[in-house]
Amino acid sequence: MSNTTITPQAAPNRRNTELMMLGFAVLVPMLAYANVGLAGDGSLPMGSVIKYGFGLGVFAGIAHLLVRKFAPYADPLLLPLATFLNGMGLMFINRLDLDIVKGIGLGGRHGTAAAGSQLMYSAIGIGLFVGIVVLLKDHRLLQRYTYTFMALALVLLVSPIPFPGDMYGAKIWIRLGPFNFQPGEFTKIVLTIFFAGYLMAKRDALALASRKVMGLYFPRGRDMGPIVVVWLLSILILVFERDLGTSLLFFGLFVVMLYVATERTSWLLFGLFMAIGGAVVVGTLEPHVHDRVAAWLDPLAAYNGSGSVQSEQLAQALFGYGTGGLLGTGLNQGHPTEIGFAARSDFILTTVGEELGLAGMMAIFMVYALLIERGLRTSLAARDPFGKLLAAGLSVTIALQVFVVAGGVTGLIPLTGMTMPFLAQGGSSVITNWALVAILIRISDTARRPAPPAGTFDPGAGVAPRRGSHASGRDGTPAGGTTPPPSATPADGSSAPDPEALTVAGGVPSAPGGPGSPPPGGSGTPPRPFVPPPNPGGGAPFGPPGQGGSGGPNP
């Protein structure tokens, strides 16, 4: 019988799959550009195809090459999905520019094209994406600055208050000469990082319950402080900035992340009751919010010239959906600019519904659903609790924003003034969303990276060390940057370090009794067995060892 040598194969990194899907994500918008031109004047708009379609493809290709080098095990669909949505958004904005520059649907007023500036902001966003992928070596480093991110979020939230509001009264912009940006878009990432760090540290206390009512565990009174503070912050945003969308997004994000961290359904119900109560009070007392609720309840009032509703945008949007029907009128065959100035931002989904129909809207929603699903899959695969919460929070952020915007422009909920991620016009939005995807890329690369061979230490299973700390991490990893050397793990691949090889900072040998203890006695004295430290509060959301939790690497 001949001897057969088996050579171990490296784990697939799926980068070729990403490249293939990226080509498809660029090709579809380029074909849509051609369709827009042929449906308009019968000519092929090579300028738009090359400038917007091929231009975005070049930027995305550079991002792919750097992901291939610096995050080879990242999820292969996150970058193509974001590129497809960004490309389709550029195509729809370019299509709307054709009517806006001619004054169609704007009462004869000629507007300016916005596709060029949106491509520039997309390039900046991809540049930020590349910077995060290259420079952020480990997402757990963000955990060190949990309360710094909290302070930064508070500054960003209150910064628009001194500036004048928009034509509908919402104070969500900072205007500095020709430059405008929306700090609320950047705040959603900053707050998500803070929520993930805070809930990871406090989830044990928040999971405790005082009493069980109708099968639900309700939190203790002293543990309700965090959700009350975030609720009050959301109410203040509604009152002082008149920004319904940001208020709903932040409060909903915190409640969902609180549920993910504690697995207490009572937090969801408690947060829902608080949101409804706050909305009723503010909607009654705040005129701006009251007007939006009135427009939602009777969208045809302004169109018919009755009632106190002044905007007919929602009515025009509903007319557009009705005109599009199941398959739509075709690209460049509808009249989406009848909505007015918001056709390229808040109501760009109406263009999809009118010209691509219900089928086109469902296709766009499926792409968003895939993007959210890949983010949640990354959360499940992450080996550290902070990464799990952060990936889940970023995915929930996209889901809530899509729901709030789509619900507003279809009449499901009142209008909020937010924009569809990647699809709508807005520099702040597209830059922030590319940064969000970059963080998911970095987390997925750490989560999907193959487990190290026997005899090595897996850094992906620990938590971010804190400088100057001598306590152990949540999973037993020594804090302060000290990790067991390769020889500290037995050759059989078990997770318990070898007590004879375990060392602490400075090379001082550590006995099984703990760091700094003297080594075992003379010959004949067997070493005490090493018992790994417990994993306190390893709740179900983070999983037991071997199931993607903080106790060990993913299988």
The pLDDT assigned to 213 comes to 67
Q: How far apart are CA 469 and CA 479, in angstroms?
A: 6
Q: Which residues pair with 213 in a beta bridge?
A: 216
Contacts 24+ apart (CB under 8 A), 194-197: 194/146, 194/147, 194/149, 194/150, 194/153, 195/253, 195/254, 195/257, 195/389, 195/393, 196/143, 196/257, 196/386, 196/389, 196/390, 196/393, 197/142, 197/143, 197/146, 197/147, 197/149, 197/386
The pLDDT assigned to 438 comes to 96
The pLDDT assigned to 518 comes to 44
Whether the per-residue pLDDT at 14 is higher than 70: the answer is yes
Nearest residue to 256 (alpha-carbon basis) of 152, 372, 153 = 372
pLDDT tens-digit map of 413-465 = 888 778 899 999 888 899 999 999 999 999 999 998 887 665 555 555 444 44
- Token pair recorded at residue 380: 């499940």
Burial of 173: CB neighbours in 10 Å, binned 0-12, 13-18, 19+: middle
**Residue 516 — pLDDT band, cuts 50, 70, 90?**
very low
Lowest-confidence segment of 30-34, 161-165, 481-485 by average pLDDT = 481-485
- Which whole-number Å values give the CA distances from 91 to 88, 156, 319, 326, 370, in the listed order? 5, 31, 22, 21, 21
The pLDDT assigned to 299 comes to 84
Q: How far apart are CA 329 and CA 349, in angstroms?
A: 15
Q: How far apart are CA 184 and CA 242, in angstroms?
A: 12
**Residue 108 — pLDDT band, cuts 50, 70, 90?**
low
Q: What is the mean pLDDT of residues 495-523?
A: 40
Lowest-confidence segment of 231-235, 271-275, 498-502 by average pLDDT = 498-502
Mean pLDDT of the chain: 77
Q: Which residues pair with 218 in a beta bridge?
A: 211
- The pairing of strands 179-181 and 209-213 is unpaired
Nearest residue to 330 (alpha-carbon basis) of 21, 2, 18, 37 = 37
Q: What is the mean pLDDT of residues 360-381?
A: 96
- Token pair recorded at residue 426: 């807005």
- Token pair recorded at residue 490: 């037995």
- Phi/psi at 209 (5° precision): -130, 150
Within 10 A of 234 (CB to CB), how many other CB atoms are there? 25
The pLDDT assigned to 463 comes to 44
Within 10 A of 518 (CB to CB), how many other CB atoms are there? 9
The pLDDT assigned to 106 comes to 63
Nearest residue to 190 (alpha-carbon basis) of 248, 136, 131, 148 = 148
Between 401 and 464, name the one with better pLDDT. 401
- Phi/psi at 422 (5° precision): 70, -30
Among 166-175, 221-230, 540-549, top mean pLDDT goes to 221-230
12: left (phi over 0), alpha (psi -120 to 50) or beta: beta
Nearest residue to 43 (alpha-carbon basis) of 33, 51, 52, 30 = 33
Largest CA distance in the chain: 97
The pLDDT assigned to 312 comes to 80
- Which whole-number Å values give the CA distances from 206 to 10, 246, 252, 538, in the listed order? 42, 25, 17, 13
The pLDDT assigned to 456 comes to 56
Q: Which residues pair with 413 in a beta bridge?
A: none
Q: What is the mean pLDDT of residues 312-324?
A: 89
The pLDDT assigned to 199 comes to 87
CA 157, chain centre distance (Å): 18
Between 518 and 91, name the one with better pLDDT. 91
Angle at 239 between CA 238 and CA 243, to 5 degrees: 30
pLDDT tens-digit map of 47-99 = 888 888 888 999 999 999 999 999 999 999 999 999 999 999 999 999 999 88
The pLDDT assigned to 135 comes to 95
Whether the per-residue pLDDT at 24 is higher than 60: the answer is yes
Within 10 A of 32 (CB to CB), how many other CB atoms are there? 21
244 three-class SS: helix
Whether the per-residue pLDDT at 540 is higher than 60: the answer is no
- What's the Rg (C-alpha) of the chain? 27
The pLDDT assigned to 254 comes to 84
Lowest-confidence segment of 69-78, 189-198, 237-246, 481-490 by average pLDDT = 481-490
**Residue 472 — pLDDT band, cuts 50, 70, 90?**
very low
Whether the per-residue pLDDT at 379 is higher than 90: the answer is yes
Burial of 282: CB neighbours in 10 Å, binned 0-12, 13-18, 19+: buried
Within 10 A of 545 (CB to CB), how many other CB atoms are there? 16
Whether the per-residue pLDDT at 341 is higher than 60: the answer is yes
Whether the per-residue pLDDT at 328 is higher than 80: the answer is yes
pTM, whole model, 2 decimals? 0.78
Whether the per-residue pLDDT at 366 is higher than 70: the answer is yes
Between 264 and 508, name the one with better pLDDT. 264
Whether the per-residue pLDDT at 374 is higher than 90: the answer is yes
The pLDDT assigned to 300 comes to 83
In which residue are the tokens 């074909």 written?
A: 31
Q: How far apart are CA 553 and CA 461, in angstroms?
A: 6
Within 10 A of 536 (CB to CB), how many other CB atoms are there? 8
Whether the per-residue pLDDT at 539 is higher than 50: the answer is no
**DSSP secondary-structure letter at 213?**
E
What is the share, in percent, of the chain residues with pLDDT greater than 70? 71
The pLDDT assigned to 480 comes to 39
**Residue 296 — pLDDT band, cuts 50, 70, 90?**
confident
Within 10 A of 159 (CB to CB), how many other CB atoms are there? 16
pLDDT tens-digit map of 126-156 = 999 999 999 999 999 999 998 899 888 888 8
The pLDDT assigned to 352 comes to 94
SS in 3 state form for 515-528? CCCCCCCCCCCCCC
**DSSP secondary-structure letter at 130?**
H
Whether the per-residue pLDDT at 5 is higher than 70: the answer is no
pLDDT tens-digit map of 278-291 = 777 777 777 777 77
**DSSP secondary-structure letter at 496?**
S
Between 128 and 493, name the one with better pLDDT. 128
Whether the per-residue pLDDT at 306 is higher than 50: the answer is yes
Q: How far apart are CA 149 and CA 142, in angstroms?
A: 9
| Structural element, H or E, at residue 411 | none
